[in-house]
């Protein structure tokens, strides 16, 4: 499958990222290098503060990206201790603690003692927090639907399968020295 030419989601006046997709006739090392470059570009653009700020503005939500990551994790997982929330969100516990405090201060999350152990504090989203997360998820979903609107169902299923396989393989493969 050759990826379609990307449409710009960078906003008015922003430059389009360089096209880095390659033809199918390349050796394995070249393919892996191309995948690395493509992933690096994807991570830089999708993780950029400016990109997230545009998404939040479109969704009418006043959130910073780390707070959104935690809020979405809470919506998906339900009430959890801060340490477990940090682990599930792949975030440092100190950063998660600061972001949870901001979410609580903004009325987007609550802290309550665990029913079975009062020493443990559970973090949960409020109704307002669920609404904020839903608004951002809707913006992202609409964007992805528009970006992939010309893709065939077979190509979408292939992308889904390969991305899932890629995540499983990369998370289960340790980093090793040469």
The pLDDT tens digits of the residues spanning 57-110 come to 999 999 999 999 999 999 999 999 999 999 999 999 999 999 999 999 999 999
H or E element: which one contains 27? none
99 domain-assigned: yes
What CATH number does residue 96 fall under? Answer: 1.10.10.10
15 domain-assigned: no
18 domain-assigned: no
Beta strands in the chain (DSSP E): 80-81, 109-114, 117-125
Percent of the chain exceeding pLDDT 70 equals 85
Structural domain of 68: 62-133
Instruction: Report the pLDDT value the prediction gives residue 5, as an integer from 0 to 100.
Output: 43
Per-residue pLDDT tens over the stretch 5-37: 444 444 444 445 555 554 555 788 888 998 899
When divided into structural domains, the chain yields a total of 1
126 domain-assigned: yes
110 domain-assigned: yes
Decide if pLDDT at 136 tops 90. yes
pTM of the model: 0.74
102 domain-assigned: yes
Instruction: Report the pLDDT value the prediction gives residue 36, as an integer from 0 to 100.
Output: 92
Instruction: Report the pLDDT value the prediction gives residue 9, as an integer from 0 to 100.
Output: 44
47 domain-assigned: no
* Gap between the Cα atoms of 109 and 130, Å rounded: 9
Q: Which residues pair with residue 112 across a beta bridge?
A: 122
23 domain-assigned: no
């Amino acid at each position: 499958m050759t990826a379609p030419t990307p449409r710009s989601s960078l906003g008015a006046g922003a430059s389009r990222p360089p096209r880095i997709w390659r033809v199918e006739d390349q050796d394995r090392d070249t393919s892996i290098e191309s995948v690395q470059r493509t992933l690096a570009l994807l991570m830089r653009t999708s993780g950029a503060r400016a990109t997230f700020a545009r998404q939040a503005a479109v969704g009418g939500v006043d959130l910073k990206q780390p707070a959104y990551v935690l809020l979405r994790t809470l919506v998906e997982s339900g009430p959890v201790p801060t340490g477990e929330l940090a682990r599930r969100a792949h975030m440092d516990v100190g950063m998660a603690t600061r972001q949870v405090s901001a979410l609580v201060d903004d009325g987007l999350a609550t802290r309550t003692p665990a029913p079975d152990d009062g020493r443990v504090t559970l973090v949960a989203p409020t109704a307002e927090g669920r609404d904020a997360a839903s608004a951002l998820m809707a913006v992202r979903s609409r964007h992805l639907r528009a970006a992939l609107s010309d893709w065939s169902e077979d190509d979408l299923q292939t992308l889904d399968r390969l991305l899932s396989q890629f995540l499983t393989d990369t998370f289960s493969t340790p980093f090793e020295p040469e």
